[in-house]
Amino acid sequence: MFLFEKSLEHSKTANSLLNTILVVYNTPKRRILHTLIISPIITFVNK
């Protein structure tokens, strides 16, 4: 059961990464680095 829950967490992470990519297409270049590097770190820290 734990492995199943972990895979659910990974799919949530994948969804948030997809959303991040979509956001990146709509942001200026300077914010792309922040979005790609810092947002995933924040996502992992909040779990």
2: burial class by Cβ within 10 Å (0-12, 13-18, 19+)? exposed
Note the pLDDT of residue 7.
Answer: 67
Q: What crossing angle do the helices spanning 29-46 and 2-25 adopt, rounded to 10°?
A: 160
Has this prediction a pTM greater than 0.85?
no
Query: What six digits make up the tokens of 45?
Result: 């820290």
Helices and strands of the chain, counted as H and E runs: 2, 0
pLDDT digits (tens, 9 = 90+) for 1-46: 466 666 666 677 778 878 877 777 776 766 767 777 777 777 778 7
From the list 19, 12, 22, the residue with the least C-alpha distance to 44 is: 12
Q: Where do the domains of the chain lie?
A: 2-46
